[in-house]
Amino acid sequence: MNTHQENQDGTGPAEDSLARLIRMAGRRQEPPPEAREQVFAIASAAWQGKIRRRQRRRVSYAVAATVALVAVLIGVLQIGQGRYGVPALDIAVTDLVAGTVEVKGTADATWRAIQGSGAALTEGTRIRTAEKSGLGLRLASGDSFRLNEQTELLFESSAQIHLLAGTVYLDSGSDDSAAELEIRTPAGRVRHIGTQFELKYTREALRLRIREGQVVLSYPVGEVQAQQGDELSIGRDGRLFMSTVDPYGSEWEWVQALAPMPGGDRRSLASLLNWVERETGREVHFARPDLEARAAETMLHGNSRRMVPMEALSVMLETTDFYYTVTGENEILIEEGGH
């Protein structure tokens, strides 16, 4: 470690002044790892999008050339034109926008606000929610995906989301045919196996709460498969902590506020109860066994107003002979009569 010694080995005064200049400038500043991670995620998405577009264009040219050749061979002088461009893939559609939500595409210079439902989001899009805001999305796979306030993420592709900061929730439905989706953060990656879960990432920690199903969490020192009711946390030091979480309660209120309403003008009371059960984490019980069969036969008539699950239950039961009582912490009891 002796530069002086090496200077004496024949490098001379010119070397001295150069060494002094560089030494005085000191070590160059390293960018913060979070900045590298974020820019890498977005640059990778831009690069992958570019590669896909080039490949599609190449395929389109090949198809176009083949079509042209066939056209000549069969003597057709005019064939369909102008459909070679393939649009970017939509990977999500907005379902509920609450407060201020902004998006930014890979080619956009600025953020732009989105409002209302039905806006399509393409790969490479970044989304951020402001304070006291939230966003409910329907992914191309049909899964419900929600962003809590002060959350920012990047849709890298239909199978990969990069959570930059904040809290998200995924409900992939109750069947086993869940599409593969990975959510990445600098602290770890989450892959679900048919589930409802919440993932929160801040600079200090990553927190994963599983409400239903199973999730695989990969983090720098290993991989863990977590089950319904597990809560996992990874701190800045990379240590993993496990505890439990109830599937119901005030912790899940933000999720319910962004829940998609069950579809269709006419639906059965049973399907409404399934939805309420799934969104609130509470268990639905019937006072008598025959009420369950009657709930399946009772059709509800459309109410397009957006409501949180318990409000929807109250409003919709008003039109039937049923009523409900919340018993204990997590049970909804359905009974007959009484209006």
Binding site for other proteins (CB under 8 A): 1-3, 6, 14-15, 17-32, 35-36, 38-40, 42-44, 46-47, 50-51, 54-55, 106-107, 109-110
Minimum distance from residue 57 beta carbon to other proteins (Å): 11
Query: In this complex, which beta carbon is closest to other proteins, that of residue 54 or of residue 132?
Result: 54
Nearer Cβ to other proteins (14/77): 14
CB of 35 to other proteins, least distance (A): 4
Task: Give phi and psi for 195, each to the nearest 5.
Answer: -165, 175
Residue 139 beta carbon to other proteins: minimum distance, rounded to whole angstroms: 24
**Shortest separation between residue 232's beta carbon and other proteins, angstroms:** 29
Find all residues with CB under 8 Å of 257, minimum gap 6, and list them: 98, 134, 308
How far is CA 83 from each of CA 60, 63, 239, rounded to the nearest angstrom?
A: 9, 11, 53
Query: Which CB sits closer to other proteins, 151 or 172?
Result: 151
194 close to 175: Cβ distance less than 8 angstroms = yes
- Which residue, 104 or 192, has its beta carbon nearer to other proteins? 104
Query: Minimum CB separation from other proteins for residue 28, in Å?
Result: 5
Do residues 178 and 212 touch, judged by C-beta distance below 8 A?
A: no
Give 3-state DSSP helix, strand, coil % of the chain, rounded to 5. 30, 35, 35
Which of residues 30 and 297 has its CB atom nearest to other proteins in the complex?
A: 30
Q: Which is nearer to other proteins, 58 or 132 (CB)?
A: 58
| CB 41, min distance to other proteins, A | 9
Q: For other proteins, give the closer residue by CB, 55 or 225.
A: 55
In whole angstroms, how close is the CB of 137 to other proteins at the nearest point?
23
CB of 43 to other proteins, least distance (A): 4
The most distant pair of C-alpha atoms in the chain lies apart, rounded to whole Å, by 102
Q: How far is CA 4 from CA 23, 24, 76, 273, in A?
A: 12, 15, 82, 80
**Phi-psi group of 11: left, alpha or beta (phi > 0 → left; psi -120 to 50 → alpha; rest → beta):** alpha
Task: Report the DSSP beta bridge partners of residue 202.
Answer: none
Q: Which residues, listed in sequence order, are joined to residue 144 by a DSSP beta bridge?
A: 138, 171
Give the pair of three-digit tokens for residue 200: 């929160």
Q: How far apart are CA 212 and CA 279, in angstroms?
A: 11
Q: Residue 58 or 288: which CB sits closer to other proteins?
A: 58
- Residue 324 and residue 273 in contact, taking contact as beta carbons nearer than 8 Å: no
C-beta separation of 183 from 217 below 8 A: no
